Amino acid sequence: MPKSPFEIPPSDSFLNAPLRATIDLQALADNWRFMSRQSGKARAGAVVKADAYGLGIEDAGQTLYNAGARDFFVAVPPEGETLRIYAPDARIFVLSGLWEGMEDIFFDNDLVPVIASEEQLAFWMRTVAEHGDHPCAMHVDTGFNRLGLSMEDALYLASDVSRPASFSPVLLLSHLACADDPASPMNQKQLEAFRTIRAAFEGIEASLSASAGTFLDSDYHFDLTRPGISLYGAEAVNGVANPMKPVVKAEARIIQVRNAKAGETVSYGAACTLNRDSRLAIASVGYADGYLRNLSGHGVALRNTGLSGASGFIAGHKVPVVGRVTMDMTIFDVTDVPEKAVSAGDYIEVFGPNMPIDDVARNAGTIGYEMLTSLGLRYERHYLEAE
């Protein structure tokens, strides 16, 4: 029988770390398989940029490769160079494209540049003229106004009889601006534009949808989808129950539990005045660890969510943040937790299965993407292996 991922023993350094992140690679693999089914007739790729959204491109990349992913997307060439070790025969697309001086890393690691501008296109044509054929992809802007050739330039290129035969993209792609809002008319507008581009480049595979777009109807799937945030357990679509499995549990060790009197103040700026005698747990997590200052319970003018700040989870209870989150420490009110259930040295969950990352992010006025990719270097990581 395969070993359950929960049977992998954590290291002593993990068990005693001030901050720790448990990463369930089985859940990651299951989420990719879910998105593969959601993609219908299209293949599902895997976006692993930003160190696999903070989880570690080495472990995440190998897990996704073993699950069946064969098309990967990274942001910059060094990410692709690292990933190549763990995805030996996959296609690895570099979304930022290629610039002079970086040719070797693409050719040596068989990376596919995503050509995203006229400047990159001109340089790539010179490069393949010198080095010989090499696959590339082409990004066309259909309304996002970020990266991509304009519609006009792309259509001109498609009909340009002087285009070198060596310039032969293996993939056309664009990116949806409003896919997280299924009712947005922008989705249909971009879909129609992308269909025009695809028709002009007949016979080349096409990819329009990242995670959110994959949850739109099958018209948006084309040949290849690019799930990212959904793989890591966070929400892709606004206002819809999240079907993905949580992948990360982030915990902070409690340094001290202290008693404070009604009328006393808590943390910087004395922004919180206690209205009852309280027990406060000081945990070793702060904004240096990606636990954003806007998660503070009090005294942060930048947050304009109408929410009261974040909570943690310990001993079966949600406990609110009080006062301001500081660089290395956050204070939680554990008054309503049985006294013997919380002690110095215990761990409090700051996000994870009991504190969904998107709920925590909303309390900061942000999104789960930022919470994940902001995980600091001080987290000791423990990976629950996939079967």
Active-site residue flag, 49: yes
Q: What is the model's pLDDT at position 81?
A: 98
Under CATH, what is the fold of the domain 25-232?
Answer: TIM Barrel (3.20.20)
Q: Using one digit for the tens of pLDDT, what is the confidence trace for 176-220?
A: 999 999 999 999 999 999 999 999 999 999 999 999 999 999 999
Q: What is the model's pLDDT at position 21?
A: 97
Q: What is the model's pLDDT at position 146?
A: 95
Q: Using one digit for the tens of pLDDT, what is the confidence trace for 298-330?
A: 877 655 555 678 999 999 999 999 999 999 999
102 annotated as belonging to a binding site for a ligand: no
Active-site residue flag, 53: no
Q: What is the model's pLDDT at position 305?
A: 54
pLDDT of residue 263 exceeding 90: yes
Q: What is the model's pLDDT at position 4?
A: 45
Residue of 49, 220, 379, 383 marked active site: 49
Q: Using one digit for the tens of pLDDT, what is the confidence trace for 77-128?
A: 999 999 999 999 999 999 999 988 999 999 999 999 999 999 999 999 888 8
pTM given for the model: 0.94
Phi-psi region for residue 97, left (φ > 0), alpha (ψ -120 to 50) or beta?
Answer: left
Architecture of domain 248-366: Beta Barrel (2.40)
**25-232 and 248-366 agree in CATH topology:** no
Q: What is the model's pLDDT at position 143?
A: 96
Residue of 3, 189, 261, 268 marked active site: 268
Q: What is the mean pLDDT of the chain?
A: 93
Domain boundaries, the chain: 25-232, 248-366
The average pLDDT across 36-59 equals 97
146 annotated as belonging to a binding site for a ligand: yes
Reading the block at residue 99, the tokens are 């610039």
